[in-house]
Structure 1
Amino acid sequence: TVLVTDIVGSTERAAELGDRRWTELLAEHHRLVRTELDRSRGKVVRVEGDGTLSTFDGPARAVSCAAAIREALRGLGLEIRAGLHTGEIELAETGVEGIAVHIGARVASLAEPGEVLTSSTVKDLVVGSGIEFSDRGTHALKGVPGEWQVYAVSGVGADR
């Protein structure tokens, strides 16, 4: 399972705070993300500016982790968008590659501020986990064939 996150309004926030304070805030963002990933057995693949790409060996942990990251970052006054998809990935020198990574990124791009979105694949795989979803409709994902059903995470069980 891949998780893609992005800070909402990062350019405006960086301009407002100035380079030094923004750099400090980003460092704290990265620390909190890594802490939540460690708790959920996730792995950071890439950190690019204000965005992250992570992988998990289980979709329920990935969804729970995304929700935990969202809540932790709210404590810093940051909102994120997050997208998750489960599919085959290829290990590469730069981390991971494959259409699943692109789908995760496209799903994330559909998210409203503070929203964690998943593909229907993730939703189907976590049945029985206690995770709740709200339907966000069918979408074309740029560059990806077909229409994709997308769901927002509306509740997460206590177990991770």
Structure 2
Amino acid sequence: MPKFLRIGIHWSNVSGYTSKAWCVRRVGSVVHLKWGAVEVHGAGDGRKVCWSRLPQEKTIRCGTAQRAQDYTKAAIARRRSHRYEPLTGPITNRRPSAGRSPEPKQALATILIVDIVGSTAKAAKLGDARWTKIIGHYYAAVRKELKSARGKEVVTTGDGVLATFRAPAAGIACATAIQKAMRTLGLEIRVGLHAGEYTMSGGEMVGLAFHIGTRVAAKARAGEVLVSSAVKDLLKAQPAISLRDHGMHQLKGVPERWRLYRVEC
């Protein structure tokens, strides 16, 4: 079964991040598809990939073997244009610890969300080959700064990255470092940070804190790092970090209005 993994920084020494995998198999006139979130551990020949939750599956009945073959070729070509690379080796199932069922894990952390501004237009301007190379450098730079600041990558969403930190100061330091790194790549990003409780369930982050974080990031303009009032309240003992009042905002789908602050680098 041909397998593909979303391109990121698979050639580096970084381990323990999330990505997406996609598989296709043709049997006569029938095409079987499988896709979903995966965890990547190790690098190079020692890289291991496992499903972080049960993958989705779909069966396509094409009528004839030739139609099935054409469908498969087109599906593979389309997937590669979405920045996937051929994956060798198996994708294993992630098994819960023996003797107990997996339970939702609650945590309190500072949530950081990074997003590229105008990525679609830039990709169209540069072309697939150049854009794929830049995206690879983008993920490598973000993960380098996350590692330096002891942040934990939770998930990647298209050209966005969501990570958590134990301390808000570390999250802000990481955000400003990422901003500086992006300038060398000619990319503009927006960053949002919020502090609160969230739950990890089935490899996914759920909870209102996650949604507030995404809405804070959406309010940021190119080159801005915005934080919620919850982050500011936790920074009272950090006078070295300069924040400027960004006003009251209604965050889409979030109760009440929130005061946001812009990080002054």
Range of TM-score over shorter length: over 0.9
- C-alpha distance in structure 2 between counterparts of 1:93 and 1:67, whole Å: 31
- 1:40-82 superposed Cα distances (whole Å, 9 cap, x missing partner): 0101111122111111111110011011111111111111000
Q: Tell me if 1:26 matches 2:135.
A: yes
Q: What is the alpha-carbon root mean square deviation over aligned residues? A: 0.8
| 1:128 Cα deviation after fit | 2.8
- C-alpha distance in structure 2 between counterparts of 1:96 and 1:59, whole Å: 18
Q: Tell me if 1:17 matches 2:17.
A: no
Residue in 1 aligned with 2:88?
none
1:114 is paired with a residue whose SS is: coil
Residue in 1 aligned with 2:167?
58
Letter in 1 for 2:228: S
- C-alpha distance in structure 1 between counterparts of 2:141 and 2:219, whole Å: 24
Letter in 2 for 1:106: R
Q: Tell me if 1:84 matches 2:197.
A: no
Residue in 2 aligned with 1:133?
243
Letter in 2 for 1:140: Q
Instruction: Decide which of 254, 257, 263 is 1:144's aligned counterpart.
Output: 254
Moved more, 53-62 or 91-100: 91-100
| 1:134 Cα deviation after fit | 0.7
1:91 is paired with a residue whose SS is: strand
| 1:20 Cα deviation after fit | 1.1
2:196 is paired with a residue whose SS is: coil
- C-alpha distance in structure 2 between counterparts of 1:49 and 1:70, whole Å: 18
- C-alpha distance in structure 1 between counterparts of 2:235 and 2:170, whole Å: 9
Instruction: Decide which of 68, 84, 104 is 2:177's aligned counterpart.
Output: 68
| 1:94 Cα deviation after fit | 2.7
Letter in 2 for 1:96: M
Identity rate, percent: 52
Q: Tell me if 1:95 matches 2:214.
A: no
Instruction: Decide which of 196, 210, 216 is 1:107's aligned counterpart.
Output: 216
- 1:97-135 superposed Cα distances (whole Å, 9 cap, x missing partner): 111111010000000100000001101101232110111
| 1:95 Cα deviation after fit | 3.3
Letter in 2 for 1:147: R
Letter in 2 for 1:16: K
Of Structure 1 and Structure 2, which has the larger fraction of its residues in strand?
A: 2
| 1:96 Cα deviation after fit | 1.8
**Structure 2: gaps (5+ residues):** 1-109
Q: 1:95 to 1:41 in 2, by over 3 A?
A: farther
- C-alpha distance in structure 1 between counterparts of 2:225 and 2:162, whole Å: 14
Residue in 2 aligned with 1:158?
none
Q: Which has the larger radius of gyration?
A: 2
TM-score by length of 1: 0.94
| 1:84 Cα deviation after fit | 0.3
1:139 is paired with a residue whose SS is: strand
